[in-house]
Structure 1
Amino acid sequence: MSPASEATARALGRIRTDVQSMHAYAVQDARGLLKLDAMENPYGLPPALQAALGERLGALALNRYPGPRSADLQRALAAYAGLPEGFGLMLGNGSDELISLLAMACDLPGAVVLAPEPGFVMYAMSARLQGLRFVGVPLTADFELDEAAMLAAIEREKPAIVYLAYPNNPTANLWDDAVIEKIVQTQGAQGGLVVIDEAYQPFAARSYIDRVARHGHVLLMRTLSKFGLAGVRLGYLMGPQALIAEVDKVRPPYNISVLNCECALFALEHAEVFAEQAARIRAERAGIVEALARLPGVRTWPSDANMILVRVPDAARTFEGMKARGVLIKNVSKMHPLLANCLRLTVGTVDENARMIAALEASL
């Protein structure tokens, strides 16, 4: 072994053993494939808006640190979301950073993060990376909240944070509001936070924004990724000002670049364009569900997101067959036992969806 290799081996001893045993978040290589694996909005900006945005971005002072425009963005997002009076809003480099910041802010000795499973993988990953214990509570076989199990886990674990995705990823469904309220009340009674994750809000029939003011311990998290700006990396967290102010203390001072900020402000000024895109995606989602119902051996679940969860006879074979036909989706069958032989399909354009359904049918 060379001296440099020996030095690397010694330095690895300074990295946490639990980190070394973890798997990095995997992003599939989509080059040359129809990319329908990551719940992205398939529509870009119209040419006229591309030109206008390019002109604005070109005029930015890239030699300066981000300044007061981030406050402008906070106000614009608060107005767009309909944030109640007296509530606060903080920005994150995507929802992923907000989840990490919440874990950091709540990292008291013995702290627990709790969430239903299967769910968004970053809840568990961020908790464990911060040294918190993560407790997953299995959903029912139909991917609904297990009310008794959730309430019992909250009473037993006294979690610092309970995450509820609304709708959930990867199952795409909205859970029963009455059960959610019982969970919120039980978590509040023992002094913990509830984070309602509305990443897929543009495609959902309901939002928690009209209920968030009822509770002093509930935070609402959203992102502009599904809105249509996945490449911009912009998430935001809303809630009682006193809670947001404390979490905001662990945020890096310049976490939102001037480019991110200006892109987001520009998009909100043209929100009607993205609303029309979301409407097209919802309409296409309904068409995909109808097409899937005609395929033998394929089971689907209700979706309030821009994705559809399906169960097929052999997920690995179907995934590889679709990839061989140029269509990349997400094989989630190994994520959790409840997801056995399940695939997650992203809703694309009319043509993309037709290709996806044809590839699925040929690969069953």
Structure 2
Amino acid sequence: MSNRLSQTLRADVQGMHAYAVQPSAGFLKLDAMENPFTLPPALQAELGQRLGAVAINRYPGGRIDELKTALAEHIALPEGCALMLGNGSDELISLLALACDVPGATILAPVPGFVMYAMSAQLQGLNFVGVPLTADFELDEAAMLAAIEQHRPAITYIAYPNNPTANLFDDAVIEKIVAAVGAQNGLVVFDEAYQPFSSRTWLPRAGEHDHVLVMRTLSKFGLAGIRLGYMVGPAALIAEIDKVRPPYNVSVLNAEAALFALEHADEYARQATVLRSERERLQAALSDMPGVQAWPSEANMILVRVPDSKATFDGMKQRGVLIKHVAALHPLLANCLRLTVGTPEENTRMVDALRASV
């Protein structure tokens, strides 16, 4: 089998590491930026009835269009824009790489950032250029503009807020990046996965530029399990990218669950309000904790640096709390951990475990 694999599979794929998901059974799971709240029992029962009535014997049809209409209304889709759906934003990232796969094409993004930007480039055979952030995890304006000038990227990703650093970048710097990429005939993609917890968004401006796209996911809205993302941009641009989307990429069950959630958006908005409040409570607790440095957050996670991140991660795990050890992702993240904001009870337990493990 090993000989067959070596002759059949791409060498770079054989050398890759698969996207790792930590085993979480038995732990307080605060490692993946998930919404910790479930639906109230009455809504659970109502959703169950809705899903039970779905025609799963049929391919997805008109209900997908109804979901797109509902999403457009929910986000106040800017004039002149359209949206397309993906099986999570991960699929949209892959589809963008596929659509922009011209000879010599490059994908560019600040690093540390979301790993799927680089992975999508590699899998599609594109170049990837990562431009390091500053030591405070801000955009390095000079380095970004120089890289855009040198590499003329087909796609430049701006995670807004960024993962795993959780911060929003300076809009004045972003304006210059958008202009520079536009002058090179590339695309800028704002990844707003954490928008429910952010104070700013680029979505209302999506129609102002013919080369800007805004990508979101319902995962942080509270629906990580249904895998639904969407991308907004000028209608003509979306129409071209949508050509590479697989038919029926969103299941009828996913669509129905998403429609149900949008009909009860007030419940998810309430949950997001609680999580934003808990984020501030966590920040206050972390600021008083010796040996812990916490960065400002506009997401449902907080990046912290401790004296020995491995020892702290292991200590918290021994105490039943699972967080994300991100130190190995990039040199700028030395001794860093990423904490997901959970319920009030979960956050109290996480703080106690962190304090005992630093």
Any idea what SS the aligned residue of 2:210 has?
coil
Instruction: Measure the CA separation in 1 of the matches of 2:49 and 2:193.
Output: 29
- Candidates 294, 312, 316, aligned match of 1:318: 312
| Correspondence for 1:255 | 249
Instruction: Measure the CA separation in 2 of the matches of 1:207 and 1:48.
Output: 33
* 1:175 partner letter: F
| Correspondence for 1:355 | 349
Instruction: Measure the CA separation in 1 of the matches of 2:322 and 2:146.
Output: 39
1:1-364 correspondence runs (5 A): 5=1, 9-364=3-358
* 1:252 partner letter: P
TM-score by length of 2: 0.99
* 1:95 partner letter: S
Instruction: Measure the CA separation in 1 of the matches of 2:73 and 2:140.
Output: 35
Any idea what SS the aligned residue of 1:334 has?
helix
Instruction: Measure the CA separation in 2 of the matches of 1:125 and 1:279.
Output: 33
Any idea what SS the aligned residue of 2:157 has?
strand
Question: How large is the RMSD of aligned CA atoms in angstroms?
Answer: 0.7
Q: CA deviation digits over 1:72-105, x for unaligned, max 9? A: 1111111111111221100000000000000000
- Give the drift of 1:210: 2.0
Q: CA deviation digits over 1:166-188, x for unaligned, max 9? A: 00000000011110110000000
Any idea what SS the aligned residue of 1:27 has?
coil
Q: CA deviation digits over 1:28-72, x for unaligned, max 9? A: 000000000000000011101100000010001111110111111
Instruction: Measure the CA separation in 1 of the matches of 2:138 and 2:308.
Output: 24
What stretches of structure 1 of length at least 5 have no aligned partner? none
Instruction: Measure the CA separation in 2 of the matches of 1:87 and 1:143.
Output: 32
Instruction: Measure the CA separation in 2 of the matches of 1:314 and 1:81.
Output: 42
1:11 and 1:142, CA in 2 relative to 1: closer, same or farther beyond 3 A?
closer
What stretches of structure 2 of length at least 5 have no aligned partner? none
- Give the drift of 1:228: 0.1
Q: CA deviation digits over 1:289-333, x for unaligned, max 9? A: 000011101001110000000000000000000000000000000
Instruction: Measure the CA separation in 2 of the matches of 1:10 and 1:203.
Output: 48
- Give the drift of 1:11: 4.1
Any idea what SS the aligned residue of 1:28 has?
coil
Instruction: Measure the CA separation in 2 of the matches of 1:72 and 1:239.
Output: 19
Identical-residue share of aligned pairs (%): 71
